[in-house]
Each structure stands twice: as C-alpha cells, then as structure tokens.
Structure 1
C-alpha cells in the first residue's frame, strides 16, 4: 500500500508537471498516469488504495469546496441576484432531461433509466471547476460582474439537485416503485412529490450547519486560541469540514459538501484574518489532494467498455451540452447584465465532469439496473473528454471572453512574489542593509537582489561585499549585480526593471564625503521612486513610500 501511495504521488506529480510544460492542464497528465498505473494497464496500484478511492475522492472534494467557500464574494453574489441560483438548477436539470430523451432514442432506454444517465452526466465537477474559477478570480477575469462566484455557487447547488434525483431514481428502479411516505395527520406523499421539499431542506440545513461550524471555528481558533500556527488551524478546519461530509452520508438530510463550502464562505464574514490564513492552508492541502483525486480517477476508468459506445456516447454528451445545458445557460442569464461573450464563456467554464461521475457512475451497474454498463461507460467517457477540455478551455478563453477587473485579495489567494532590492556601498552600513534584507526575506519567504553601483570601488571592495552577502544571505535566494552609472538613477532603474517589492538602503556613511554622497543618494531615491523605500540608520529603519 505504501509503495502504491508513493507511485501515485511521485509519478502523478511529474505526470502533471509534464502536461503543464507541454501547455496542457496538469490534471490531464495525472489522469493518464492513473490509467497507466491502474488495473487496465500496469496494475501497480494495490487493491487497498483502489478500495479507498471513494473515501480519498471525498476528502479531496471536501478540500476543494472549502477552497471555493473561502474564495466566494458575498457582494458579487448579491449583485448577480438570481443568476447564481438559476445556474444551480436550470442547466443541470435541462441537460439531464435532454440526455434522457436522447438515450431513449439512441440506446432504447425507458425514461427513468435515461434520466438516471442524465443525472450522472449532468452533474458538474467541483474538482475541475473550482480551481479554474479561483484561478480566474486571482487574475481578475470576470470579477467585476462576479461571474466566477456565480459559477462556483451554481455548481455546488446543481450537484445537490442531481444527486437527490439520482438517489430517488435508484430507489424507484431497484424496488420497482416510488416509496410512499406517510406524514403525521395521515397525509401520504411519494418521494417524488417531496423532492422539492428535500432540495430546499438539503440546501437550508447545509447552509445553516456551515454557518454554525464557522462560528465554532472562530470560537476555537480565534477567541479561545487553542492553536498556535496555521498548520493546526488548517487541521482543525479540515477535520470539521470532513465531519460534516461524513455525517451527511449517514444522515442525508443536508448536503455535506454544501455545508463545507458554506463554512468557508461564512468564515470570511465572521473572521476575515482567519479565513485568509486558512485559505493558504487549504491551498497547500490541495497540492496533495489533487494528485490523489485525478490519478485515482484515471485508475477507475474502464477502458474496455468504452469501445462499444464511443460514437453514441460522444453524441449523447454533445446533445446534453450543446442543446440541454446551453438552453439552461441562456435561461439562467436572461435579464442579467452579462453580455453575449460572458454567456458564451459558460461553455468552457461550466461544463467539466469528473468527480461526481467517478463516484456514482458504477452504482447502477452494481445494483443490477438495466443499462448499468452503458451508464458506466458514458460516465468514464465524459471524464476523459470534458475534464481535460474544461480545464484547458477555461484558461484559454477567459482572456478572450471576459473583462479583466480589479482583484480582491481579501477573497482569494493572490500569488505575489516578494523581491527585495538591497542597495549597498562599501561602508560598514552595508552589513545593516544586508542583515535587514535577509530578515525581511525570511519573514516573507522572499528573494533578494543585491545591487552595488560601482563608483570608486576596487575589485577587492566588491569581493568583500560579495563574501559578506554570501555569509548573511546563505539561506536566501539572491542575485548579485554590479553596474556603473549614476547611483540614484541606477537603483531606481533596476528596481523598476525587476519589479521589486521594496528598496532597502543606508541613509548615510561614516566618512564626511560619504555622508554628503549617501545623503544625496537616499534623498534622490526617496523623491523619485514609486516603490517603497526602507532607510537604515544606526540599526533602526524608517519606511517611506512615494
């Protein structure tokens, strides 16, 4: 089992990075690695790991939905009005119905089995859609109108709807009829009649439990201070989210995944600093979870059953997507402020299938339902086609179809690089500058540029600065530059060329002529630099930004 875990992690990681270097989404490489390592080809993944695939997928989906919740923007969702709510029901429902009718013609299914197939295929994949939408938010694409937020919310709600209908159809097809439910007072209803109430209850209780869980986290992690660092914060938050998901499996009265997403969302409202810390922690968890998720997805794909239904399966997917789902997208955005380009973006941004199909695709076959093998094959086909295509097309077409807006760093992780510029001379104050840069770089996990503008320095002086730099910044990634020219102009030019975060320099030297020179240099840099400048003097520093 440990060897299998090692294969999954190492080969899955490098398979994903190879795909990225070739210009494809990493998940393509991970899925291909899973197919190769799985029982269909090399069969090197142990039965224990394959047997735990469903549980590992559940854990991975919980992590990605917490990331989604921690990245939602309440103001943007309120601005969209009912668009997010409609995206949660109309596209998935209409796609499922379109697939049901198409399956009746192509595969000669009856309507319940066709709708069962529609529920399997119509569900959206949070494992593909959530990272894509959070990436768009971090880059600013579509954030002005809240398009990524609407897609994130709609994706979570649509899975609630289709999974409920799927469970209802399984009960009907397995028992030969729809169960009668007797309520107090002698009122009798079928499960189908109670479906709208079940959907409302699952959503309401999921959101409520997510809110209560968020408040509990704030009490435990912030007010009571039971943890000491971000790792412990993340472990407690992830454990609570996983607990909600597990309880929802045993008590199916609320959506555990929706509760996990809601918990992340409410954490932003209740304690934004805690939410920011957890966002970074779940980003780290996702790095490992993503590998397991997509490698095990590839390992569970049944290649031998794809050959028979390849062309009709592609036709079914095309009908569901290009007829059913596009009609749902049109109705969902009707009356909104989305233009035709933004509506068209829903085609690449909101159509990926993966995790839900892998989780429920084999259930009809295992329960002996007619057409179960075909349902499983089309579920596998939908993963192979739409997951890589959706991940690739989201990032490819977003710049062409969406408008770039201002990124809100309080709602999403923004990748920033801390790069410090240390401007040093040959005086003893260079030690202070290098020491401060090393300290700031360690605190921010940053890098440094050490700049010496040659004026009257000898080669021996420069070698001494290099040796001192190597000693003080031994654990910091840095680049040492020596140039000639006017000191203030060159400092600012290099800072702007490398897009540094801040300039660190000394305020004055020790010799009278150096006092004049460095005084004028620091004054000139302060007056002309648009980049923050940190001045050091006698082991103390001031920060000035112009």
Structure 2
C-alpha cells in the first residue's frame, strides 16, 4: 500500500513520500487500525534501520574536495540555523503556550532538528543532476544537517533530564571542580562529534580489510550486507557509548570513498536498492505514528510557532553560516526549501515528553506531528522544484554519486545475414546494461518480404529485451543519425562490410558516412563472410 500510495503521488506530480505518509495515516491506529500492533511496537527499530540506510547513502555521496572548498560553511550550517530556530521556537512557545523556558527549549530542540530522510535523498538527487555541485552546496547541506541533529539531540537529552528531575545534574571533576551538565554541553558535543568521526573511520578501515584485502565476501550483495550490519551496529551502540551513531555511519560511508573508491561504488548501488524498501517502511510508519486527535486546537497556534522558527530563526542562522562564502543571494535563498524538512527526528522523539509526564507534552507532540505533515511534503517537493531556479548546474562527479541513466541502443540493420550479428551484439550489450533497443531498417519498396523476415529475426533474438522495430524510407546514413538523435541513444550498432587487402580493412560506405558525422559512439560489427574474426570496434 505504501508503494502504490507513493507511485500515485508521483504520478500526480507530488513527492512519493506524501502518498506513503497518507497511507500510513489511513492504515494506522488513528483511522483504519489495520497495521499489526507488533509492527507498530517495532516502529522505532524499523525507523533506525531506515535512517541507517539513508545516512550511509549520504556518506557515500559526500565530496571531500567540495567540503574543503566551503571552509567553515558546512560546520556553521550544522549549528547556527538549527540553534537559532530552536531559540525562536522556544520564545514563541513561551509567548503563545505560556511554556517555561526549559519546556520551550525542549520543543525547540524537537522541531529544530532536520530530517535526513527528506534532505539526504533530495541533496543526492541534486548531486546526480549537477545542481549546485560546483560550490559544493548539496555537500554542505548534507554535512550541516547531520551535525545539527547531533547538537539538538544532545540538548534535548539534557533538558529532558532537567525537567524530569527538577534540576540540572552537576558533575564533580578531579580537583574538586563542579560543573553543571549545561556547562559541559559544548565539551560533550565536541566529544560526540570527534568520536563519531573516529569510529566511522575505524569502521571504514575494517570494511575495506574484510571485503577487499581479505576477500571475506563473494559478491556485491554480501558486501552490502556486511557494510549495512556494521553501520547499523554503529547507530545502535551509541545508546551506551558517548558518540554520535548517526554521524559515525555517515562518516563511515565518507571514508570508504577515500579508502577504496571501487568498493564504495559497489556499496552505493546496493544502498540505493535498500533505500527503495527502507523509504516505504520509514514514511508509512511515520504516518501511522501521527496523533491526529492531539492536533485539534493547536493547529493555528502550532503553525504560527513553526512559521516563526522557519522564517525568523533559521534565516538568521543561514545568513551567519554563509557570511564570507562565495554563495550568491539566490543560492542562499535555496536553503529555505533545501534545509527545512522535519520528519525522522520528530517522529522518533516527539512523543517522549508526553510519555515522561512533562507538562505541555501533548502540545509538543501535536506540534511535532504538525511539523511532519507540513514541512516534509513541502521540502520534498521544493528541493527539486527550486534547485533549477536558484542553483547553477555544474559537472557531475560519477565517483561520488550513482549516475542513473536509461540506456537506449540503436541497431541499424539491413536484410542481409550481417543483421543477425548486429542484433546479437546489441542484445549482449542491452542485457549487460538493462537497456532498450531501437531496431532501425531503412527500406526499399521492393523488399517487403525480406522486412518481415527481419522482423521475425528481431523478435527471436531480442525476445527478452525491450525493443522497438522501426522502418523508414530515406537516405540510410542521414536516417540513422536522425533517429539516433531523436531517441538520444547511447551507442549506434551497425554492420561493416569490408575486404581484406594488404592486412587493411576498408569500412563500407554507409558505416564510413556515419562514422565521419556521428557524435554518438559507433560499434561496428564485421561481416561474418570476411576471413577476419567477427569483432566490434567502438569509435
């Protein structure tokens, strides 16, 4: 249901996650109540797996050179926008809901956190298409998003402890110095980030040793399973050790690119496949966790609180984060759609204050649900919509992202026996690339019967491949080039008739004409009647 809901949303021009969230709401306990209670009880664990997948995708897509070129921008994006938004939301909640300062800050930490489930796929899509890659804008947003979640989750835990115990716990250091947990927060942030990066590096070294140097696995599926298991372990163990598991998983993917680029490329494709399933689980369960009944009277004041945080607090942080950078005003404006989405963190911790019996917990839960329903769909739609309008398009680095291409091949054939060899060659390439084939024959008026035989031969040789059989009249070289351009093919496969003479092979007139003009690679298949073995040549 989540898959089909997502596809319906996509066909209507909306992000698939909107359909998945709506399906979760309909199937969840608030409406249909048809999802097993065992699944709902395991929702937190399932969300953890899904977040691990998206963080590994983010790490495997980061570009070290682009991050270094941005200087401190990524670091500032990790602290200032989320911090200023949390403060603005806290002040708004104190004014509107009459919260005390700690409760207002608790709400600010929940709402200020950014959603990797929305931001990471969006930024990786921009990297695949080249939007903003010259200045490393997607990389800076990805890194800043991960760092901001570390900061706010730490502050959330501190405030939760304070509100539950009635005061901030003090810690006595060697030498008799006494510090409160709030005073130790900067040091704790530094330790969690530093240890997260170090542990991520160690895990990346371990994976390279196991999978490349010691060859513990036999195929890519096993590579992905081992990497995913280690990444999930990093995310889970942070509950008992003082480091950021989210950051460690992301750092592991990043260091894998530096340590073993071919392995990182294989893993990138595997985690792309895992995300197809994890995305559905994450957003359907997210929709099922939304408490519709608690929205009630808090919709309008809740939207006001969200707007103050998003349009007052965050812009201050965005401006301060990019001061001194080479970002233009339009690129700075892109941070509004690119860095606003809330979903994963809010679904994970939004209900905790209510469960702990904190006063105002039901309002906090309602605003958390409201932030998911408003910013996640808008953010997922706005990132691809506004990127072409606000960002410059640069050259895509295929070593950092999975470049998804739809391979189309053109097989130019006549009615001679050489057509069989051309069709066999194009079939082999199409099977390797999961490609589609355009079979083109430029006809003469007196070869109708031969064309039908050619059509039958094509059906037999390409029976397991998507193909289109086209017949057309005209100049053979010109029609081949025109159809190749029309269908935007990756390669032209055609026959070559030549004669062996003084160890040289002359190219036939048609293939020679195509070779001289075509900007598309041409693969020539030699006539089997020649004494030379059948071979292909890419020009």
Q: What TM-score range do you get, normalising by the shorter chain?
A: over 0.9
Per-residue deviation at 1:186?
3.0
Matched, 1:163 2:157: no
Match in the other structure for 1:111 = 101
Partner SS, residue 450 of structure 2:
helix
CA distance in 1, matches of 2:288, 2:436: 40
How does 1:435-454 map onto structure 2 within 5 Å? 435-454=424-443
Matched, 1:276 2:265: yes
Matched, 1:20 2:10: yes
**Deviations, residues 476-523 of structure 1 (Å, cap 9, x unaligned):** 10111111111111111111111111111111189xxxxx99711111
In the alignment, which of 28, 34, 42 is matched to residue 52 of structure 1? 42
CA distance 1:122–1:436, change in 2 (3 Å)? same
CA distance in 1, matches of 2:445, 2:207: 60
Query: Does the 8 A contact of 1:207 with 1:259 survive in 2?
Result: yes
Match in the other structure for 1:477 = 466
CA distance in 2, matches of 1:38, 1:263: 35
**Deviations, residues 394-415 of structure 1 (Å, cap 9, x unaligned):** 1111111111111111111111
Match in the other structure for 2:27 = 37
**Deviations, residues 190-218 of structure 1 (Å, cap 9, x unaligned):** 11111111101111111111111111111
Matched, 1:290 2:279: yes
Match in the other structure for 1:244 = 234
Per-residue deviation at 1:543?
2.4
Matched, 1:541 2:531: no
Query: Does the 8 A contact of 1:526 with 1:544 survive in 2?
Result: no
Match in the other structure for 1:344 = 333
**Deviations, residues 400-456 of structure 1 (Å, cap 9, x unaligned):** 111111111111111111111111112211111111111111111111111111136
CA distance in 1, matches of 2:446, 2:105: 80
CA distance in 1, matches of 2:446, 2:74: 64
How does 1:249-264 map onto structure 2 within 5 Å? 249-251=239-241, 253-264=242-253
Match in the other structure for 1:316 = 305
Per-residue deviation at 1:457?
5.6
Deviates more, 1:221-230 or 1:117-126: 221-230
Match in the other structure for 2:185 = 195
Stretches of structure 1 that go unaligned for 5 or more consecutive residues are 1-10, 511-515
Partner SS, residue 425 of structure 1:
coil
Matched, 1:523 2:512: yes
Match in the other structure for 1:4 = none
**Deviations, residues 134-160 of structure 1 (Å, cap 9, x unaligned):** 111111111111111100000000000
Compute the RMSD of aligned alpha carbons.
1.4
Query: Does the 8 A contact of 1:94 with 1:328 survive in 2?
Result: yes
Per-residue deviation at 1:271?
1.1
Query: Does the 8 A contact of 1:426 with 1:457 survive in 2?
Result: no
Deviates more, 1:407-416 or 1:295-304: 407-416
Runs of 4+, deviation exceeding 3 Å: none
CA distance in 1, matches of 2:121, 2:137: 14
Per-residue deviation at 1:16?
0.7
Per-residue deviation at 1:28?
0.7
CA distance in 1, matches of 2:29, 2:536: 63
CA distance in 2, matches of 1:184, 1:65: 38
Partner SS, residue 448 of structure 1:
strand
CA distance in 2, matches of 1:50, 1:139: 37
**Deviations, residues 307-350 of structure 1 (Å, cap 9, x unaligned):** 11111100100111111111110110111111111111111110
Match in the other structure for 2:477 = 488
Query: Does the 8 A contact of 2:525 with 2:537 survive in 1?
Result: no
Match in the other structure for 1:3 = none
CA distance in 2, matches of 1:233, 1:209: 20
How does 1:210-221 map onto structure 2 within 5 Å? 210-221=200-211
CA distance in 2, matches of 1:457, 1:365: 82
Match in the other structure for 2:217 = 227
CA distance in 2, matches of 1:428, 1:296: 58
Structure 1 length-normalised TM: 0.95
**Deviations, residues 371-399 of structure 1 (Å, cap 9, x unaligned):** 11110010000000100011111111111
In the alignment, which of 290, 293, 316 is matched to residue 301 of structure 1? 290
Match in the other structure for 1:151 = 141
CA distance in 2, matches of 1:219, 1:447: 38
CA distance 1:518–1:485, change in 2 (3 Å)? farther
Partner SS, residue 540 of structure 1:
coil
Matched, 1:142 2:137: no
Partner SS, residue 297 of structure 2:
coil
Matched, 1:379 2:368: yes
CA distance in 1, matches of 2:295, 2:335: 27
Structure 2 length-normalised TM: 0.96
Deviates more, 1:435-444 or 1:530-539: 530-539
Deviates more, 1:449-458 or 1:138-147: 449-458
CA distance 1:482–1:82, change in 2 (3 Å)? same
Per-residue deviation at 1:97?
0.9
Query: Does the 8 A contact of 2:196 with 2:245 survive in 1?
Result: yes
Match in the other structure for 2:502 = none
CA distance in 1, matches of 2:300, 2:100: 20
Partner SS, residue 249 of structure 1:
coil
CA distance in 1, matches of 2:9, 2:324: 40
Match in the other structure for 1:464 = 453
